[in-house]
Amino acid sequence: MTQPGLVLWDISKRRIVWQFPDSFIRNLVYSPDGSLIATCGTNRMVHIVNAVDGSTRFQSTNHRAPVRTIAFSPDGRLLATGADDGTIKFWHVATGQELLELQNPGDGVRHLEFTDDGDRLICQLGRQGTDPASSDRILIFDGSRFEP
C-alpha cells in the first residue's frame, strides 16, 4: 500500500516513478517549465521538488498557519504562498530565500494567481467558516518593479 502524499506515475509503463510522502498536502502547482512541483499544506510546510526524480529542492515552515494556496510567477523565478491567517509570502525559487511577507489579519488567503505577464498577483481573501454575512475580497498587487 502506498503512503499518502505526492506520487508521480509513468502511465505508459503503469508504474510509480517516485513518491513524496506528505499526508498534509493541501495544494500543488507545476512550475511554468514543468521541471518543479511546489506543494503547500496544513502542516505550514512549503516544498519545491524536482518533477523528474522527486528530490527536494527547497522546504520551509516559515508560515505561522496552514498554507492553502501556492503560485509560480510565469517566468518561474518567484513563488507566492498564501496561508489561512492571511499571510502571503514571496520566495526566490532558485535559492529558497523568503523575499517578502504581506499580512492581512482576519481573512485567509483562498487563492493566488499571477497575471500572464507576471506584473500582478491576484489574491482572493475570505473568512473561514460559513458565515453568510462574510464575503470574499479580491486584491491585486502590482509587482512589476519587484525583482528577486
Report mean pLDDT in 10-residue bins for the chain, 148 residues: 72 88 85 95 90 89 91 95 92 93 82 92 77 71 68
Helix (H) or strand (E) holding 144: none
In a domain, 87, yes or no: yes
Q: What is the pLDDT of residue 10?
A: 87
Q: For residues 94 and 6, give the distance between their C-alpha atoms in angstroms, rounded to a whole number.
A: 22
In a domain, 3, yes or no: no
Q: What is the pLDDT of residue 77?
A: 94
CATH number of the CATH domain containing 80 = 2.130.10.10
In a domain, 5, yes or no: no
Domain that holds residue 133: 25-142
Q: For residues 81 and 32, give the distance between their C-alpha atoms in angstroms, rounded to a whole number.
A: 16
Q: How many CB atoms lie within 10 A of CB 140?
A: 10
In a domain, 54, yes or no: yes
Model pTM score:
0.85
In a domain, 105, yes or no: yes
Number of domains making up the chain: 1
Q: How many CB atoms lie within 10 A of CB 98?
A: 15
In a domain, 100, yes or no: yes
* Inter-CA distances, 83 with 53, 113, 141, 145, Å: 28, 14, 16, 24
